[in-house]
C-alpha cells in the first residue's frame, strides 16, 4: 500500500499533519527522526516524506537533525515549519533568529506560482508560527512565497523534488492549506489515494480470518468506541470463536452499559459476557480523591475482574485489544499488528494467551469511527462523544460515592438531552456534567438547605489538545439548569464552565 512518512522532529503538529494526509486518502506513518535511518526510509518504499518539528532552532547544537543524505535519496520531501528551516539549513541556506521577524497568527501570503502552490491566488491568508526564519534559500531553490516579515515563506527545488513551507497548511486559518498537501501528495509524489476505510476493513477481516482461523480469541470490551469496533471487526473475521468480556464498572453514563450490551449482542450478534462489577469498583474507590489514584485503582480493578472472567474460559490463543494510533505513538511502540506474549501492554499480563492482536493500531480516532461505520455499526454508537476510560469517576470531584454517581448520571443525561434536542450537538464536540464536592445553600420552599453544585461543560475542539468553551445558547443552559434542579434531588446550584484549554483541561480531573 502506498504510504508517506511524517518524519517527526519534535513538537506537536505531526499528528494533525498525518491526519490531513490520511484525509486525502493516503496512509501516513509518523516516525521520530531518532528511530529511522535513511536506508530504512528508502527500503520502506515511502512515496514521500514530510518533515515536521517544534520550536527548536535548527542552528543550535542540540537541535534535532537527520542525516542530510535523505535530501539525495530521490524521495520527494516537503518540510513544514521547522521542517522547512531544517531543509534550508541542511542544503546550505541561511536560517537566522531575529525577534522583529517572528510571526504568530494569520498573515498575508504572497505567492508566485509553483508546483507545490499550484492553485494559490497571488494573495491568500496563512497561519504562521515562527521566531527564526530562512533569510536565504539554499542554492538550487526558488522562493515561491513570502510575507511582509518572512522572505522565504515557501521554497522549492523541483529538480530534486524538495519543497518547504514556513506556514502551516494543516491549520484551518491557512486558506489553501489542503492544496499544499494535495499537490505534494498527488502531483509531486504521484500517489493514487489508496487509503480508504472500506478497503482497510476488508483487508483486516481477510487477514484476521486467516491468522485466527480455529483460534480461541478473547477481547475486553470497555464500552468505548475503540474496543467495540475491534470486537465487530474480529467477529466478522472469526464469528463465535471470539468471546467478549464486557466489564460494567458502574462508571458509564446513563443507559450506556445496556446500549453496549444490546448493540453488541442483539444487533451485531457478538458473543458477550457482561460482568456487573459496579459494587467492586465503588468499594475499590472508597476514600480515593486524587484523579491519578482513581485512574490507577480503576485500571487495576478492571484487570482483576477481567482476569477472573478470562480464567473461566480456560486457555485462550489470542487476546484482542482496541489500541489505536495515538496510544501507539504515546507508548512509542513499533508498528506491528501482532506481538508475542509478554510484550508491552496491560491486559495481556493477566490472561494466559498465545498472542495479542491490535487491529486498529494504525488508525486515528476519527478513522476508528469511520471503520465502525464501514463495518455496519450504528452511527449513534460510532459517533459518541469522547468519554474518559475511567468514566464518571473523573467527573465526581473528590471521592466517588453512589449518591454522587446517581446525581451525576441524571444531570449529565438531562444536559445531553437538551443539547441534542436543540440540535446544538452539531456545533460542539464534547458536552457533559461534573459533580463537585462544594455544597452550597439553596432554597427549598422557604427553607435553607445544603445541596450539591453541578458544573456543565461543553467544548469545541479539533484534537482536544486545545479547546474552547462552547457558546451554548442561554435557552439551552436555562432549560438544562431548571430541569436539573427540579428533577434531581440534592442539587442547589448549576454553573457553566467558561474556561478554554489551556489554561484549563477539558475534564475537571
Please report, as ranges, the residues that interact with ligand XMP according to CB under 6 A. 295, 386, 388-390, 430, 464, 501, 505-507
Nearer to ligand XMP, 271 or 430 (CB): 430
Q: Which residue, 287 or 503, has its beta carbon nearer to ligand XMP?
A: 503
Cell of 125: 491568508
The nearer residue to ligand XMP, 149 or 501, going by C-beta atoms, is 501
Q: Which residues pair with 110 in a beta bridge?
A: 123, 146
Q: Are 373 and 389 in contact (CB under 8 A)?
A: no
Q: For ligand XMP, give the closer residue by CB, 261 or 507.
A: 507
Question: Could you identify the residue written with the cell 427549598?
Answer: 444
The DSSP code for 386 is P
| Continuous segment of H or E residues that includes residue 221 | strand 217-221
Smallest distance from ligand XMP to CB 430, Å: 5
User: 435 has which bridge partners?
Assistant: 396, 454
- Strand 491-496 and strand 447-460: pairing? parallel
User: CB of 126: closest distance to ligand XMP in angstroms?
Assistant: 28
**CB 507, min distance to ligand XMP, A:** 3
457-491 core/surface letters (b: 16 or more CB in 10 A; e: else):
bbbebeeeeebebbebeeebbebbbebbbeebebb
Considering beta carbons, is residue 289 or 430 the nearer one to ligand XMP? 430
Specify the residue, 338 or 508, whose C-beta has the smaller distance to ligand XMP: 508
In angstroms, the CA 75 to CA 358 distance is 30
Query: 383 vs 464, which CB is nearer to ligand XMP?
Result: 464
What is d(CA 208, CA 231) in angstroms, rounded to the nearest whole number? 12
Shortest distance, position 390 Cβ to ligand XMP, whole Å: 5
Q: Which residues of 108-135 are buried (b: 16+ CB within 10 A; e: fewer)?
A: ebebeebebbeebeeebebbbbbebbbb
Q: Which is nearer to ligand XMP, 47 or 457 (CB)?
A: 457
Nearest to ligand XMP of 78, 400 (CB atom): 400
- For residue 387, the minimal CB distance to ligand XMP (Å) is 6
Question: Distance between CA 83 and CA 480 in Å, rounded?
Answer: 48
Nearest to 471 by CA among 455, 483, 458, 462: 458
Among 144, 177, 201, 162, CA closest to 77: 162
> For residues 389 and 490, which CB has a smaller minimum distance to ligand XMP in the complex?
389
| C-alpha separations of 341 from 164, 216, 327, 331, 353 in Å | 43, 15, 19, 17, 7
Measure the CA–CA gap between 160 and 147, rounded to whole angstroms: 25
Amino acid at each position: 500500500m502506498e504510504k508517506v512518512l511524517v518524519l517527526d522532529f519534535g513538537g506537536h503538529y505531526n499528528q494533525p499533519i498525518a491526519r490531513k494526509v490520511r484525509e486525502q486518502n493516503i496512509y501516513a506513518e509518523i516516525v521520530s527522526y531518532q528511530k529511522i535511518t535513511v536506508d530504512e526510509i528508502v527500503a520502506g518504499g515511502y512515496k514521500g516524506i514530510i518533515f515536521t518539528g517544534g520550536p527548536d532552532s535548527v542552528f543550535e547544537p542540540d537541535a534535532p537533525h537527520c542525516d542530510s543524505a535523505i535530501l539525495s535519496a530521490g524521495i520527494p520531501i516537503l518540510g513544514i515549519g521547522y521542517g522547512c528551516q531544517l531543509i534550508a539549513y541542511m542544503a546550505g541556506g541561511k536560517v537566522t533568529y531575529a525577534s522583529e521577524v517572528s510571526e504568530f497568527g494569520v498573515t498575508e501570503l504572497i505567492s508566485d506560482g509553483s508546483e507545490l502552490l499550484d492553485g494559490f491566488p497571488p494573495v491568500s491568508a496563512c497561519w504562521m508560527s515562527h521566531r527564526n526564519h530562512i533569510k536565504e534559500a539554499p542554492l538550487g531553490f526558488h522562493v515561491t512565497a513570502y510575507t511582509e516579515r518572512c522572505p522565504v515563506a515557501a521554497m522549492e527545488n523541483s529538480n530534486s523534488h524538495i519543497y518547504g513551507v514556513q506556514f502551516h497548511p494543516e491549520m484551518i486559518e491557512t486558506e489553501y492549506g489542503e492544496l499544499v498537501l494535495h499537490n505534494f501528495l498527488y502531483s509531486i509524489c504521484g500517489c493514487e489515494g489508496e487509503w480508504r476505510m472500506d478497503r482497510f476493513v476488508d483487508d483486516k477481516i481477510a487477514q484476521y480470518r486467516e491468522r485466527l482461523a480455529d483460534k480461541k480469541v478473547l477481547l475486553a470490551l470497555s464500552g468505548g468506541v475503540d474496543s467495540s469496533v475491534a470486537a465487530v471487526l474480529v467477529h466478522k473475521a472469526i464469528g463465535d470463536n471470539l468471546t467478549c468480556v464486557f466489564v460494567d464498572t458502574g462508571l458509564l453514563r446513563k443507559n450506556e452499559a445496556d446500549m453496549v450490551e444490546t448493540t453488541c449482542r442483539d444487533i451485531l450478534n457478538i458473543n458477550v459476557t457482561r460482568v456487573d462489577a459496579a459494587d467492586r469498583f465503588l468499594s475499590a474507590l472508597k476514600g480515593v480523591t486524587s484523579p491519578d489514584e482513581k485512574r490507577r485503582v480503576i485500571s487495576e480493578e478492571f484487570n482483576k475482574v477481567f482476569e477472573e472472567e478470562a480464567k473461566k474460559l480456560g486457555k485462550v490463543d489470542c487476546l484482542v485489544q482496541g489500541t489505536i494510533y495515538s496510544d501507539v505513538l504515546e507508548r512509542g511502540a513499533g508498528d506491528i499488528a501482532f506481538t508475542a506474549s509478554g510484550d508491552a501492554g496491560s491486559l495481556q499480563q493477566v490472561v494466559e494467551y498465545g498472542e495479542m492482536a491490535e487491529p486498529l493500531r494504525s488508525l486515528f480516532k476519527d478513522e476508528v469511527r469511520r471503520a465502525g461505520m464501514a463495518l455496519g455499526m450504528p452511527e449513534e454508537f460510532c459517533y459518541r462523544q469522547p468519554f474518559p476510560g475511567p468514566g464518571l469517576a473523573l467527573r465526581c470531584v473528590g471521592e466517588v460515592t453512589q449518591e454522587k454517581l446517581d446525581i451525576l448520571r441524571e444531570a449529565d443525561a438531562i444536559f445531553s438531552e437538551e443539547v441534542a434536542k436543540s440540535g446544538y450537538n452539531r456545533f460542539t464536540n464534547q458536552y457533559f456534567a461534573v459533580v463537585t464536592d462544594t455544597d452550597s445553600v439553596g432554597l427549598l420552599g422557604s427553607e435553607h438547605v445544603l445541596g450539591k453544585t453541578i458544573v456543565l461543560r461543553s467544548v469545541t475542539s479539533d484534537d482536544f489538545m486545545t479547546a474552547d468553551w462552547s457558546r451554548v445558547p442561554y435557552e439551552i443552559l436555562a432549560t438544562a439548569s431548571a430541569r436539573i434542579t427540579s428533577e434531581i434531588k440534592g442539587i442547589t446550584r448549576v454553573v457553566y464552565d467558561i474556561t478554554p484549554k489551556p489554561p484549563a483541561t477539558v475534564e475537571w480531573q
